C-alpha cells in the first residue's frame, strides 16, 4: 500500500457520509454507519492520511441536542471505530445556527485552519468528502479537493460548484483519493 505524507488529511462529513443521516440525532443509539464507510476509513488510514471529521451541528443551536449528547454520539462513533482498529485524528464541529454567520460552519474554513495548525497539514494536498455541496466548497476554499458522495443528500444536491469527483459512496471516494493523491 502506498504511503502518503503525514501532513495530508481527509476531512470527512459526518451525517450522510460516514453515518446515516437521520435528521438531528440526539442519542448514541441512533448511530448507524453507512455501508463500507468503515472500510473507507481503514483504506485511508493504511495510506497514512489523517482522518478528521468536520460536521455542522446546528441542532445544538436549535436545542435538539446539547454538547453532552453530541459528545456521547461522538464517543459511540469512536468506540465502534476502535473495535475496527481505526482511530480518528480529530472530530471538529460547528454548533451554530446557519443564520449566525459564524466562521466555523462549513463551507467556511475556520475548522480546517484549526486542524492545519494542530497537525501541520498542507491544506492544498488535503481532501474534503461529503454529501452536500457545502462540503465540496469547503474543500475548494481551503485550497484542496472537494468530493461529493451520493449517499445522504448527495443525490439531491444542486451542483452550484463542480466537485473534483462524484463518488457513489465514501468508499469509492477513498479509492479515488488513494489513486489521485501525490506520493511522497
Q: Supply the pLDDT for residue 182.
A: 67
Q: Is residue 2 part of a domain?
A: no
Q: Supply the pLDDT for residue 184.
A: 41
Q: Which of 13, 21, 135, 169 is catalytic?
A: 13
How many separate domains does the chain show? 1
Whichever domain contains 153, its CATH number is 3.40.50.1000
Q: Is residue 92 part of a domain?
A: yes
**DSSP states of the chain as a string?**
-----TT-EEEE-TBTTTB---SS--SGGG--BPTTHHHHHHHHHHTT-EEEEEEE-TTTTTTSS-HHHHHHHHHHHHHHHHHTT---SEEEEE-S-GGG--SSSTTS-HHHHHHHHHHT--GGG-EEEESSHHHHHHHHHTTSEEEEESSTTGGG---SS--SEEESSHHHHHHHHHHHSPP-
Q: Is residue 134 part of a domain?
A: yes
- Which structural domain, as residue segments, surrounds residue 56? 9-180
Active site residue 15: yes
Query: For 50-93, how does the pLDDT look when each residue is reduced to its tens digit (9 = 90+)?
Result: 999 999 999 999 999 999 999 999 999 999 999 999 999 999 99
**Contact, 67 vs 91, CB < 8 A?**
no
Q: Which of 15, 21, 131, 169 is catalytic?
A: 15
* pLDDT tens per residue across all 184 residues of the chain: 456 567 899 999 999 999 999 999 999 999 999 999 999 999 999 999 999 999 999 999 999 999 999 999 999 999 999 999 999 999 999 999 999 999 999 999 999 999 999 999 999 999 999 999 999 999 999 999 999 999 999 888 888 889 999 999 999 999 999 998 865 4
Q: Is residue 117 part of a domain?
A: yes
Q: Supply the pLDDT for residue 82.
A: 98
Q: Supply the pLDDT for residue 34.
A: 98
Q: Is residue 110 part of a domain?
A: yes
Active site residue 122: no
Amino acid at each position: 500500500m502506498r504511503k502518503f505524507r503525514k501532513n495530508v488529511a481527509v476531512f470527512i462529513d459526518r451525517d450522510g457520509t460516514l453515518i446515516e443521516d437521520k435528521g438531528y440525532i440526539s442519542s448514541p443509539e441512533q448511530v448507524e454507519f453507512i455501508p463500507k464507510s468503515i472500510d473507507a476509513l481503514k483504506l485511508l488510514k493504511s495510506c497514512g492520511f489523517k482522518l478528521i471529521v468536520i460536521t455542522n451541528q446546528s441542532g445544538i443551536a436549535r436545542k435538539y441536542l446539547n454538547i453532552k449528547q453530541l459528545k456521547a454520539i461522538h464517543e459511540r462513533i469512536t468506540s465502534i471505530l476502535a473495535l475496527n482498529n481505526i482511530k480518528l485524528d480529530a472530530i471538529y464541529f460547528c454548533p451554530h445556527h446557519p443564520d449566525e454567520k459564524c466562521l466555523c460552519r462549513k463551507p467556511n474554513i475556520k475548522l480546517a485552519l484549526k486542524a492545519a495548525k494542530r497537525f501541520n497539514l498542507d491544506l492544498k494536498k488535503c481532501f474534503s468528502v461529503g454529501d452536500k455541496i457545502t462540503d465540496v466548497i469547503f474543500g475548494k476554499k481551503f485550497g484542496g479537493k472537494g468530493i461529493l458522495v451520493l449517499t445522504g443528500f448527495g443525490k439531491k444536491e444542486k451542483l452550484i460548484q463542480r466537485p473534483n469527483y462524484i463518488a457513489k459512496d465514501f468508499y469509492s471516494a477513498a479509492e479515488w483519493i488513494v489513486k489521485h493523491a501525490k506520493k511522497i
